[in-house]
Amino acid sequence: MAKTHTRYVCQECGRATASYMGKCPQCGAFNSMVEEVVHDEPVTKGTAVRGLTGRSAPRSIGDVSSDAEDRINLPIGEFARVLGGGIVPGSIVLIGGDPGIGKSTLMLQMAMEMAATKRVLYVSGEESERQIKMRATRLAGARRDDQSSKSSFGPAVPLPKNLLLVTETNLEIIFNHINEVKPDLLIVEDSSAGSVSQVRECSSQLRELAKTSGISVFVIGHVTKEGTIAGPRVLEHVVDTVLYLEGDRFQAYRLLRSVKNRFGATAEVGVFEMREGGLVEVTNPSEAFLAERMINAAGSAIAVTMEGTRPILVEVQGLTSPTQFGNARRTANGVDFNRLLLISAVLTRRAGLKLAEQDIFVNVVGGLQIDEPAADLAIAAAIASSWRDISVKADAVLIGEICLAGELRMPGQMVARLREAQKLGFKTAIVPTALRKAEPYPKDIKVIEVRSIHQALDAAFASSNELSKGRKVA
Ligand code: TYD
Ligand code: MG
């Protein structure tokens, strides 16, 4: 009989200690230690995988097939883009996101799409087969009703025969199913959060399976309140690719973002819209994010932000309003709060806006979260526009990072940003003065180069009044 003892494992980072500690000595997390029983002889010693294991053998580098040619074509363009161009056989992908954001929907849509040509096994530890079928039928029905819309993807009706469903949480039984079904694609959704070592053990076995059998595995994870995938960061090291599905729950847009990818560029983003009939690809996100824009409204400015390799235009809205209860408040929605504080301070000190007794609200339309400093200038313009009650030129975009002294810094990939703005019909771009240009700017957009936030605001406003001349409205 195997001997057992207990140990304590940090649920954040996986550090194991012999005794309980309130604070993890490795990552500093509090109350993250969970007691676990350890069998001296590991229970999982390869039993589950053995059936499929092929022997490894050294090969000449020239004989190793490269994954570019082997990738399985994925008909969902926005998804394929995030994966780096398709599904890599034998890879393991973790997809995380808040509950209810649409992970199961996306994976089911992908499963149904892939089942047209491949064998797909969908293992759910959360929903019954009937529940999944109900959802699949709804998705398929929506597809049938929506044949006219080119951007919608989804399964052909009737439901694909090659999509097999099973509700199961026991890993050993799951492996039995895999041996029997021999799928090309495996999707595992497990609700049981489990402790770190369980989740890790489970994932390493799935990885072993992927590597030895060539099956592509997708694991659906859950994101904790702190924003990490449940169970743990440790999981992220086990898998090849980590994707997050994110978005504002009250908005329709969903962003599929890759945060780690052994087979493609990270920070790549796919954009979807959640509709009645499931997720629909948004192939032109800038257009979508600007769709509801009110032209010539005060307190609105257009930023060009890079999401991976793709520039996206978004509307930033600002509102200033006299403070009622003494302390001026700043509220940031879609932009970093500290960034907002910095921009407000620079506007006060370097552009002469009296914001000390103003509440400031900033919102990014469409539920997008912008982390890039390149949006600073648009944020500043939106705030200044509201404060002065003058609209920013309707055909202008603002791109640039604001520094503490009020001078501007050039962000990367300026040419790509300008091209996207021009493509969407913008005529003017207000950008920091370039000391050195790697590439000439596109010709069809008027680029106004400015050195300071002061100059940028002067250029941004429709009327040529200088900002410092005072405000029109209290
Ligand atoms: P789901 O995929 O279950 O989320 P997750 O697996 O990430 O927890 O998505 C659930 C949400 O998506 C739910 O609030 C309803 C919405 N939804 C639609 O709007 N349209 C649809 O066709 C489907 C299937 C779901
Ligand atoms: Mg789900």
Tell me the pLDDT tens digit for each residue of 226-245.
Answer: 555 554 566 777 889 989 89
| Ligand 1 close to Cβ of residue 222 (< 6 A) | no
Residue nearest to atom 23 of ligand 1 (CA): 278
Whether residue 44 is predicted with pLDDT greater than 80 in this model: the reply is no
Q: How far apart are CA 242 and CA 9, in angstroms?
A: 23
Q: What is the mean pLDDT of residues 466-471?
A: 45
Whether residue 198 is predicted with pLDDT greater than 80 in this model: the reply is no
| Ligand 1 close to Cβ of residue 105 (< 6 A) | yes
Residue nearest to atom 11 of ligand 1 (CA): 100
- Tokens linked to 330: 């700043």
Tally of residues, the chain = 474
Question: Which pLDDT belongs to residue 40?
Answer: 62
| Ligand 1 close to Cβ of residue 96 (< 6 A) | no
Whether residue 142 is predicted with pLDDT greater than 80 in this model: the reply is no
Burial of 386 (0-12, 13-18, 19+ CB in 10 A): buried
Range list of H helices, 95-170: 103-114, 129-145
Pairing of strands 241-246, 92-96: parallel
Residue 50 neighbours by CB distance under 10 Å: 11
For residue 220, which atom of ligand 1 is closest to its CA? 6
For residue 142, which atom of ligand 1 is closest to its CA? 22
More confident residue, 183 or 233: 183
Whether residue 12 is predicted with pLDDT greater than 80 in this model: the reply is no
Answer whether 408's CB lies under 8 Å from 451's CB. Answer: yes
pLDDT mean across residues, the chain? 84
Of 156-170, 332-346, 370-384, where does mean pLDDT reach its minimum?
156-170
Cβ-proximal residues to 291 (8 Å cutoff; 6+ apart), any chain: none
The Å distance, Cα 74 to ligand 1 centre, comes to 21
| Ligand 1 close to Cβ of residue 99 (< 6 A) | yes
| Ligand 1 close to Cβ of residue 280 (< 6 A) | no
Answer whether 420's CB lies under 8 Å from 304's CB. Answer: yes
Cβ-proximal residues to 347 (8 Å cutoff; 6+ apart), any chain: 353, 355, 380, 383, 384, 453
Residue 468 banded pLDDT, cuts 50, 70, 90: very low
Burial of 36 (0-12, 13-18, 19+ CB in 10 A): middle
Residue 306 neighbours by CB distance under 10 Å: 19
- Tokens linked to 65: 């097939």
Question: Which pLDDT belongs to residue 471?
Answer: 47
**What is the DSSP code (8-state) at residue 365?**
T
| Ligand 1 close to Cβ of residue 154 (< 6 A) | no
- Tokens linked to 364: 């990014």
Residue nearest to atom 17 of ligand 1 (CA): 278
Residue nearest to atom 21 of ligand 1 (CA): 278
The residue among 35, 43, 39 whose CA lies nearest residue 4 is: 39
| Ligand 1 close to Cβ of residue 417 (< 6 A) | no
Whether residue 464 is predicted with pLDDT greater than 70 in this model: the reply is no
Ligand nearest to C-alpha 101: 1
| Ligand 1 close to Cβ of residue 254 (< 6 A) | no
The Å distance, Cα 217 to ligand 2 centre, comes to 17
Q: Which residue has the tokens 């560029």?
A: 265
Residue 332 banded pLDDT, cuts 50, 70, 90: very high
| Ligand 1 close to Cβ of residue 250 (< 6 A) | no
Residue 57 banded pLDDT, cuts 50, 70, 90: confident
Q: How far apart are the first and last CA of the chain?
A: 81
- Tokens linked to 360: 């400031």
| Ligand 1 close to Cβ of residue 102 (< 6 A) | yes
% of the chain at pLDDT higher than 90: 46
- Enter the pTM of the model: 0.76
Which residues are registered as beta bridge partners of 10?
33
Residue 67 banded pLDDT, cuts 50, 70, 90: low
H-helix or E-strand spanning residue 44: none
Answer whether 185's CB lies under 8 Å from 218's CB. Answer: yes
Question: Which pLDDT belongs to residue 310?
Answer: 87
**What is the DSSP code (8-state) at residue 204?**
H
Cβ-proximal residues to 132 (8 Å cutoff; 6+ apart), any chain: 108, 122, 124, 165
Q: How far apart are CA 418 and CA 424, in angstroms?
A: 10
For residue 189, which atom of ligand 1 is closest to its CA? 6
The per-type count for the chain, helices as H runs and strands as E runs, is 12, 21
Answer whether 162's CB lies under 8 Å from 115's CB. Answer: yes
- Dihedral sign for Cα atoms in the order 211, 212, 213, 218: negative
For residue 139, which atom of ligand 1 is closest to its CA? 22
Give the amino acid at 232: P
Q: What is the mean pLDDT of residues 432-445?
A: 88
Q: Which residue has the tokens 């207990």?
A: 6
Whether residue 6 is predicted with pLDDT greater than 70 in this model: the reply is yes
The Å distance, Cα 407 to ligand 1 centre, comes to 45
| Ligand 1 close to Cβ of residue 385 (< 6 A) | no
Residue 83 phi, psi (nearest 5): -75, -15
